[in-house]
A and B are shown apart, each in its own frame.
Chain A
């Protein structure tokens, strides 16, 4: 479960050093687009040594490797995968590349005696990945999918806009596929880091369509994104009332009861349970 995941360039030690103090639920150490060809080796070493330092607590550690057809893929995966990594983010994902990566992870996990099962977040950023998204999310290792709207727009030959009408269909398709298999639907980053209002609007739109998280490219964005994807204090208070009412109704054998003039039935109780679960998970109850 997550609301925000933050990209950190793998070749920037000062940003890496501060990466874990921000509010994002997960950190994506990027070995791909943020890193120049000449710095791929050093970035890999910097990221590895930092994530193995043990400084990161309570955050999902994600590493975006180079795509499976690149000359860096094998080095990335062989060096980076360890007990300290939770998730590998796979660019230009297709059903085939996800399967190939999963097989490679099986092999490395066994070889390095890694206790946990490393997850995969494929990036849906080509026409082919959009077509295959239902198959991609089905894979056991896939915990969620990320929409990569910039590369996707290029692939489709369309122009990216702040309003995002051009990605409306893909957002919806990803949401349906991800939610069908109870995986995270993670929205594409909002690239204008100076436009706070635009970020709020874009995140709210993604939430409306069913996305439950969003990637960010600047630490300041994480707070806004978390706020949009978190239950509000009003939601939490209402959910508590619903669950209390439900408990009392259960005692007297009622399946449906009334709260503040509204009828409360099973779907509302389940939503309340979900709100409380998310509030607890994101430590929002005492905020």
Chain B
């Protein structure tokens, strides 16, 4: 079966229609699951696992706010799989290289299914090897809470790392020695899982101030020495690039947004945490300072750069679903205008008021983009899994103008393809491509093209940009993949936008 973007999808999955299809369907919502015990049982992971009456075929969930510093998933699974459990599904909001121990449970058949929004490292390698028995399901940050609320993912036990937990089971990521800030990805898990286990290294009598997870959903509190390494939550790229090519792209992206008159009082934006995206934010900040413009909010993954924008009153609020560095963690605790939000509030298409729908524009990256403006951030050109949507598809769909910033040629490989290897975000939601060698506008955005006509911005077609890249690199040979489907990429509405194939050439 093929979906509307001519991508093959496996039997048993719903085919992607278009990016606004969800508006025509009625949201399903299962009831929240409340815990029966007000006073929570507190013990170590081993003893809590004993009480959980775990069975074959169950689904366990985890969040990724501790990112590559997470100790919880590995420690919990080490205890869980001391039991001879089989056919377990792991629903983790993201998986990083630190989660390498999961590989052996996949290989020995104890873990047979994975849901995640972002995946790289050894777990990605083993999935690409075909070791996972069922298909990998890559979701979006908004699609995951939607699926949980709709009962499409039924979580038997949610293991939620929290840096501060009180005896009533109220929890947050804001306080404690291993504070990680926002705990937004775990809110849906807490509300809808059959059993909720908070895993913490900081149990307090009473929560110091506010909390993000209400104890009414919590069944158990498991104690461990360290839930993770706080310093490791820092994403690899949270500094403004100094690369002149990246800076050129950033300057041009900000100029386009300025010429579109999007940088004005009250505007809202989101950027990725990458060096070029932050450089765009920096260019925008300079324009704001020069003209005394105050924005309303910045959303998404928050870094120290945005914390400074808030402190300097360039924006009124931050809506934070994930802290990308320790500046953001500190600000989350101390600045009342730094709001922590759930993944559902952030990007669930069926939420009554998702933040992404209020964004004027967003700056996003791409590993590949094609002539239809479809974007891939899930695989590389070989088909190796190197990431995933995260909030990419959600933000592109919700915001007013989606700007993709990327080098036209990366390590001698042109970024513009006839067809991207994997579609993460549909071209209908992508408006502007800014590269170091020119700017292309999606022909569907006639309004943007008209607005830029009277300005000094030179617009090229995406085909012209592709040809310019080919002049430098030649036309690269298409890298084939096998016919073996190893996973699916879900759009935010739960339909499948593309399939993931076992690569023929594994990246070494």
Contact = CB atoms under 8 A, between A and B. Distances in A.
Interface of A: 17-18, 21-23, 53, 55, 218-220, 223, 283, 286-287
B455 A22 contact: no
B255 to A, nearest CB: 9
Given A21-B248, A219-B248, 7 more contacts: A18-B436, A53-B471, A55-B471, A220-B242, A220-B247, A223-B251, A287-B456
A219 B244 CA distance: 6
B27 interface: no
Contacts of A22: 244, 248
Contacts of A286: 455-456
A218 B437 CA distance: 18
B245 interface: yes
Contacts of B456: 283, 286-287
Interface residues of B, number: 13
Counting chain B CB atoms within 10 Å of each CB, which of A21, A22, A55, A218 scores highest?
A21
Closest 5 CB pairs of A and B: A219-B244, A286-B456, A21-B436, A220-B244, A18-B245
A223 B456 CA distance: 17
A283 B255 CA distance: 14
Nearest to A287: B456
B471 A218 contact: no
Interface string B236-271: 000000101101100100000000000000000000
Counting chain A CB atoms within 10 Å of each CB, which of B248, B251, B409, B456 scores highest?
B248
A167 B409 CA distance: 42
Interface of B: 242, 244-245, 247-248, 251, 409, 436-437, 455-456, 471-472
Contacts of B436: 18, 21
Contacts of A23: 248
Contacts of B244: 18, 22, 218-220
Nearest to A283: B456
A241 B247 CA distance: 35
27 contacts: A17-B409, A17-B472, A18-B244, A18-B245, A18-B436, A21-B245, A21-B248, A21-B436, A21-B437, A22-B244, A22-B248, A23-B248, A53-B471, A55-B471, A55-B472, A218-B244, A219-B244, A219-B247, A219-B248, A220-B242, A220-B244, A220-B247, A223-B251, A283-B456, A286-B455, A286-B456, A287-B456
Nearest to A53: B471
Contacts of A18: 244-245, 436
Contacts of A219: 244, 247-248
Contacts of A55: 471-472
Interface of A is mostly: loop
A55 B247 CA distance: 21
Nearest to B438: A21
Contacts of A223: 251
Nearest to A6: B244
Contacts of B242: 220
A218 B248 CA distance: 13
Nearest to B259: A286
Contacts of A283: 456
A283 B248 CA distance: 17
Nearest to B411: A14
B438 to A, nearest CB: 9
A218 B244 CA distance: 8
Contacts of B472: 17, 55
A236 to B, nearest CB: 14
Nearest to B473: A17
B260 to A, nearest CB: 14
A6 B28 CA distance: 60
A286 B453 CA distance: 12
A23 B250 CA distance: 13
Contacts of B437: 21
Contacts of B409: 17
B412 to A, nearest CB: 9
A220 B241 CA distance: 11
Contacts of B245: 18, 21
A17 B437 CA distance: 11
A21 B471 CA distance: 15
B407 to A, nearest CB: 9
Contacts of B251: 223
B465 to A, nearest CB: 12
A27 to B, nearest CB: 13
A166 to B, nearest CB: 30
A55 B468 CA distance: 9
Contacts of A21: 245, 248, 436-437
Nearest to B455: A286
B91 to A, nearest CB: 43
A22 B436 CA distance: 9
Nearest to A14: B412
Nearest to B436: A21
Counting chain B CB atoms within 10 Å of each CB, which of A18, A53, A219 scores highest?
A18
Nearest to A219: B244
Contacts of A287: 456
Nearest to A23: B248
B171 to A, nearest CB: 44
Contacts of B471: 53, 55
Nearest to B468: A55
A223 B248 CA distance: 10
A222 to B, nearest CB: 9
Contacts of A218: 244
A219 B437 CA distance: 15
Nearest to A21: B436
Nearest to A17: B472
A241 B58 CA distance: 76
A287 B471 CA distance: 30
A258 B17 CA distance: 67
Nearest to A220: B244
Contacts of B247: 219-220
A287 B457 CA distance: 10
A223 B455 CA distance: 20
Contacts of A17: 409, 472
A140 B409 CA distance: 42
A55 B438 CA distance: 13
A6 to B, nearest CB: 10
